[in-house]
A and B are shown apart, each in its own frame.
Chain A
Amino acid sequence: MKLLEVNNLKKIYTTRFGGNQVQALSNVTFSVEEGEYVAIMGESGSGKTTLLNILASLDKPTSGEILLQGKNVVSIKESEIVAFRRENLGFVFQDFNLLDTFSLKDNIFLPLVLSRKSYDEMEKRLTPIATKLGIKDILNKFPYEVSGGQKQRAAVARALITNPQLILADEPTGALDSKATDHLLKLFSDINKEGQTILMVTHSTKAASHAGRVLFIKDGEVFHQLYKGSISNEEMFEKISNTLTVIATGGVVNE
């Protein structure tokens, strides 16, 4: 079943003075099945972030539609969009975006508190997630007291705790060292195996090699895609880097 459908998405930025138009997305069409783990790759300026912002309903497309379980996200009213985002989407950011003023636990609770859930309910949801992510012992610490990897795991917990239909991850490994990166990618794979749909935007070939499918964006269009199938992470890594080389050198894809 298709969880997310993106049809003919187009985004044109107009500079504030004069009619200088920049086309960030020219025509993006793809879909994500339920339970899939998709990575979107592309160079800087290829339109990745614009795409993610539109998917996250933080930005509006110029034209095109986004269907989440058949519901058009673009047409949701401004007043409902915040609640929609909170209930259906989970976010993981490159720079964690944890609030310094809250302990990790309170950071994780934040979306639930905003949705007015009871404290017992929150605790009930937190325990299994914290155990799975290995942050049970540091829940009462504050972001400035823990490592980058731990911060990112707390951010993942915050994204998971609302039981979202889709997790959107924006360069989740961008600020992590290699060990923490491995740990996080393994986590993502595990979560995905349990049925969580993940859409990740990344620069990193390594991160993308863990995904079930990799979409390549170039000049505002989906340029190419790779299915992982049953091959190992290492083989996938090689395939991705070959593709990237081809894209970068402008050659024809021979596949």
Chain B
Amino acid sequence: MVYGVVQLINFAHGEVFMVGAYLALTVMLAVSAVASAVPWWLLLILCGAGAMLGCGLLGAAIERIAYRPIRHAPRLNALITAIGLSFFLQNAVMLLYGAVDQHMPSVIPSVRFDVGGVTITLMQIIVWISSAALMVGLQLLVMSTKLGMAMRATAQDLKACALLGIPVNRVIAITFVIGSAFAAMGGMLFGLHYGTINFHDGYMMGIKAFTAAVFGGIGNIPGAMVGGLVLGLLEALGAGYLSSQWKNVFAFLILVVLLLFKPTGLLGERIADRA
């Protein structure tokens, strides 16, 4: 999404995701310390809100401090800045929270449903529902609001938009805020699902998210969703039927082959008008 608007691969996105997980943990511990009898769903909402708010601010700060000053510099500068930011956030979290993996208490009751021989946990249902809701909301925002229209316009031509009186700086900042808040939500769900979080977790996630976006067609929201699903399925099936050692090889091989034949990704975007 950020790439779509400013043509910048935000390598620090994975780190924002990781910060989101840590923020959710902090809120969770703080709330449990103050009031012990909070129902789990309320706790979950509080954590989600705290993490999204915090990361939204972080996203705005990243855009303002790190990216805006070099927006008109060559693209390589922005890329290097992004990598630097990613190191900065990783090590800042390591110094703040310590290097050991943190345990994320499982607040969601472990309810299991058996549907035709497949076990589904309440956790998984919550992950599905919240991701689907966020994706639909994002699609609606981008496609049918004035702000979304401004975002799409900025993505097409930044200078022309500025000339037409669209506050491009604000639009880009809002894009960062939304993207970061979504990353925070993802980070929280990730932490809750696996039960452990580490300051290093954002790295692989950032790469996987980027891959999914490329897979689906970059700058295309349904595409990223489909890309993520396909990538996850490929990895799981690869690990289950072939060998877990070849899991990543398998997933990325498919990506290479796909891009060879369809360079714009599964749900290809109109890259042409940018070339």
**A joins B in a complex:** no
Interface of B with A (CB < 8 Å)?
A: none
